[in-house]
Amino acid sequence: MPPKPTDVLRGTLDLLVLKTLTLDAMHGWGISQRIQQFSRGVLDVNQGSLYPALQRLELKGWIDSEWRPSDNNRRARYYRLTAAGRRALSTETNDWRRYVEAVEWILETA
Amino acid sequence: MIIPGVVLRLRALFRREATEARLDEEMRYHLELETDKNLRLGMSRESARRQARLDFGGVESMKEDQRDARGTRPLEDAVADVRYALRVLRRNPVLTGAAMLTLALGVGANTAIFSVVNAVILRPLPFPHSERLVMLSEDNAEKGWRRAVAAPANYLDWRERVKAFEDVAAYTGGGGATLSGAGDARQLRVRNVTGNYFSVLGVDAELGRTLRDAETWQRGPGTAVISHRLYQDALGGNPAALGRTIMLDGAPTEVVGVMPASFSFAADSVDVWQPMGWDADSRSQVFFRRAHWLRVVARLKPGVTPAAADAEFQTIVGQLQREFPLTNRVMGADLVPLQEFLIGDLRVPLLILQGAVGLLLLIACANVGNLLLAQAVGREREVSLRLALGARRERVVRQALTESLVLSLLGGAAGFALGWWGTRALAALQPTGMLPVKSVPMDLRVLACVTLITTLTGLLFGIAPAMWSASRVPAEVLKEGGKGGSVGSRSRRWTDLLVVGEIALALVLTVGAGLLVRSFYRLQRVDPGLEPHGVMAIGIRLPAGYDRTARQVQFFTALRERVSALPGVESAAEGLVAPFGGSSFTSDFHVAGRAPDDYGTEVMRDYVTPGYFSTLRVPLRAGRFFTDADREGAEPVVIINEGMALQHFRGGNPVGQRITFDKFPDSTSVWRTIVGVVGDVRQRGLALTPQVAAFEAFGQQSNSYMTLLVRARGDAGEVLPALRRVLAELDPSIAFAEATSLDALVARSIARQRYIMTLLLVFAATGLLLSVMGVYGVMAQMARRRSREMGIRIALGAGVAQVQWLVVRHGLRLVAGGLGLGLLGSFAATQSIRSLLYEVAPADPLTFVTVSILLALTALLASWLPAARASLTNPAATLRDE
């Protein structure tokens, strides 16, 4: 039995979504698939929390969205990173790195 | 990024449907793609779809989360709560109706009283910079004057010397004049004012001009400013009336201006303002400083505080005391802001009424709180279920509070409507001139206050049910199960507490009202000193032609004789003013043969005709009444009242002694021989002790204004047409003023006490009714709860009374608690109404005991009734019911 994918930690989802959107505008399902792919199947996005996260980010003005025809010619809502989102991503990434370093340091030394 | 966020939030709120639709579409699309993926992984279509849904998680809970993310959650919840509350309220029309009615009474009473308090105490006076207007009055410790009218010479000195005053105006109290030459002769209310009266108040004429400063000192052809009402009524509202000459008391007077309809000083209803028209010579004469008849209003310079002005004012008053020792030796003076002066002794009753309606509102709150608590108890399973299903406690509390707020707003709206009507009623039913304001408007402040009261009310009565709901442990409640299962003792404690509080408040209110009722009863039984029933009083003002004593005496003698001869008239007489129609004038006096410093002050004087005392049935104590022989040329005579005899002739017989109305008699003093002593009359009103009084014979002292007093045999109103005819035959230019019965004048002298008592009584009765309803409601609940137990006990052979006692005993405990608390509160609270009580102590034992017994009996009846009903139900039926 393969190891069960870990749920994305609350709080890191925003960061992952922002990172995913740096490459291209994407719809919700695409974002969830991309995160799973990038993490080589380790992380599983809880889809129930993805959409609230998207709405939250839009509310902060870090992403915006529009309806666009998708590959299979259906209407899908595409999310795109804004300039503010780009700035936020860099601060959030730094924060995350510091956090990880701190946790690692504790795990190794304590 | 705040703006787009707000926009999104607002859009989300207003276009909730659209937002949810967008969410649905996105979700559907997501599920489709996920299903396709699963199909590609080789699942069957059915399980592919199922797996996609499973992966997605709860659709509805996601929507909730999504809504949270939108940030409109609290608002949406509130809207939902209000909708839910309205549904619940509609479902229980009886309860909702009862609660709304209770609240409407409480809020309505508060609205009405607060409107009056607002109009009288809080609203600024309708003059520009009215905070700079102050009232100046004289105080005299020797004569017992406080905030009394001032002497003109003092007024003039104040005006000239005090630098803090920008300007100072003076006016006289109510005077009258007869308007002739414009249709029927009619009586007008005239106020004599200094020429700067209107400029000090800061008001301008609507047409023409106001008066000029110089006119204060102009004798001769008069000028007048008239009211908008008189302009409309007598001059047809024609602007050509300006400059027209009207006849006032037979003297030609030019109309120079018309005041706007809105102008009113302290709710007066003056028709004509005339300049003082003083003689320039008067300034230096003693009477100008000795006679006091002016009200004085000053405008402070900008930036000067009343306290600073008063300090300077007192210095000047001190100077005047030293400069004019004869008249001003003990003359003090008083400066108060105009509004404070106008509020006067109305502040205490108004605040007491406001306190009373506050108590009433608390009782209403307790009642509604109990109703809601009972309802919450009935819904405990619903609440428990919600808690068990994961609803947060704060959510349940908020729901309960929303419900009470919605109820309070509905009740408050009804109360506001009731209050609007009540305010009108309060203003319309007030004793004439009690409120020193022209109107009692419902302004923004009233609206704000009512809204605040209503909201606080909602929170207040909502807290008990809300706290109770939140304190429930769901598992326990659901376990309790069963129909009407035992109700938590916690809710009963709340209920009991509310009832005890309610009874206590009702007792305080009722004791207060009881004291006023007793006080009023005492007042009504005070002996006025005469027999008012059947006597009419008619004021008669002689026009300018009657300026000589002989003509005045001749006219009034003829009038009296002809009226006495009318059928239906028992007797007629004349005096200066009607008894209870106010005081005439007072002066100092000296008894012949006493030391120079042994003088009397403040004797009330009156000129009366023969037949005066017998017409009024004032008893003779010694000596004789006046006769027709007491005329000009005969020995000057005077009759004094018993009070004067006791106070100034202690132990001796006053009859035969001589007095003069001068403090320090000299060669010009007129000495009058006392020929009689009569009983005391409460001239100034039933509530006030009789004044020391002296009466001169009208044949020797005349006046152009007298009051005709007619005692009729039957209905006094029936002789009026004949009286009118007699007057018209004597002189058609004399206006027939309104005839007033002495009964009405006596009643008017205690009208304010009656008004306040009635209001407090109404509030207390409402409070009592509400609290008794509260007791009844609680006891009915208890009886219902215990009806099964009662049934069993009766089935087992217990007596009905014994079983009823189970419930009544509890009621008794509540009543006892409430009474104990209420008595403590009453002892404290009734001290505040001391000043409103007439010969009743604030802790009057009779009132306290009577009211307590009344309240206890009513409350016990209210607890026995449900018990009796419950005990009479068929035990078998009750048991089968289970």
Give contacts of A47 with chain B, Cβ < 8 Å: 30, 34, 55-57
- Whether B34 and A27 lie within 8 Å, measured CB to CB: no
d(CA B830, CA B823): 10
B317-327 exposure pattern, b = at least 16 Cβ within 10 A, e = fewer: beebbeebeeb
d(CA B420, CA B422): 5
Distances (CA, A) of B779 to B466, B485, B492, B706, B863: 22, 18, 11, 66, 5
Residue type, B215: E
d(CA B566, CA B586): 34
Q: What is the mean pLDDT of residues A80-87?
A: 89
d(CA B453, CA B505): 18
Q: Give the H or E element holding residue B524.
A: helix B489-524
Cβ of residue A11 closer than 8 Å to a chain B Cβ: no
| Distance (Å) from the alpha carbon of A45 to chain B's nearest alpha carbon | 10
Three-point CA angle B134, B225, B185, nearest 5° = 125
- The predicted pLDDT at position B4 comes to 54
Q: Both ends of chain A: CA-CA distance in Å?
A: 33
Return the number of CB contacts < 8 Å for A and B.
Answer: 66
Cβ of residue A27 closer than 8 Å to a chain B Cβ: yes
Contacts 24+ apart (CB under 8 A), B728-731: B729/B562, B730/B555, B730/B558, B730/B559, B730/B562, B731/B543, B731/B555
- Whether B69 and A53 lie within 8 Å, measured CB to CB: yes
Least CA distance to B19: which residue of chain A?
A55
Cβ of residue B832 closer than 8 Å to a chain A Cβ: no
Residue type, B332: G
Cβ of residue A4 closer than 8 Å to a chain B Cβ: no
| Distance (Å) from the alpha carbon of A44 to chain B's nearest alpha carbon | 10
**Which residues does chain B have with pLDDT short of 50?**
1-2, 481-486, 882
Cβ of residue A82 closer than 8 Å to a chain B Cβ: no
DSSP 3-state of B526: coil
| Distance (Å) from the alpha carbon of A103 to chain B's nearest alpha carbon | 29
Q: What is the mean pLDDT of residues A32-39?
A: 81
- Whether B62 and A48 lie within 8 Å, measured CB to CB: yes
Q: From the candidates A7, A34, A45, A51, which should be mutated to test the interface with B, based on the most B CB atoms within 10 A?
A: A51
| Distance (Å) from the alpha carbon of A28 to chain B's nearest alpha carbon | 7
What pLDDT digit, counting tens, does each position of B245-283 carry?
A: 888 887 889 999 999 998 989 888 899 999 998 988 888
d(CA A16, CA A5): 16
What is the torsional sign of CA B693, B699, B704, B706?
A: positive
Inter-helix orientation angle B845-872/B751-785, to 10°: 30
- Whether B29 and A60 lie within 8 Å, measured CB to CB: no
- Whether A56 and B69 lie within 8 Å, measured CB to CB: yes
Least CA distance to A83: which residue of chain B?
B1
- Whether B69 and A84 lie within 8 Å, measured CB to CB: no
Least CA distance to B72: which residue of chain A?
A59
Contact between B41 and B52 (Cβ < 8 Å): no
Give contacts of A48 with chain B, Cβ < 8 Å: 56-58, 61-62, 65
Contact between B464 and B373 (Cβ < 8 Å): yes
| Residue among A48, A41, A39 nearest A19 (CA) | A39
Neighbouring-strand partners of residue B705: B541
Least CA distance to B23: which residue of chain A?
A51
**For residue B158, with 0-12 CB atoms within 10 Å meaning exposed, 13-18 middle and 19 or more buried, which class applies?**
buried
CA B519 to chain centre: 18
Give contacts of B70 with chain A, Cβ < 8 Å: 55, 59
Cβ of residue A59 closer than 8 Å to a chain B Cβ: yes
What pLDDT digit, counting tens, does each position of B391-416 carry?
A: 677 777 888 888 888 888 899 899 99
Distances (CA, A) of B666 to B596, B648, B695: 11, 21, 22
B480-514 exposure pattern, b = at least 16 Cβ within 10 A, e = fewer: eeeeeeebbeebbebbbbbbbbbbbbbbbbbbbbb
Give contacts of A51 with chain B, Cβ < 8 Å: 23, 26-27, 62, 65-66
Contact between B503 and B767 (Cβ < 8 Å): no
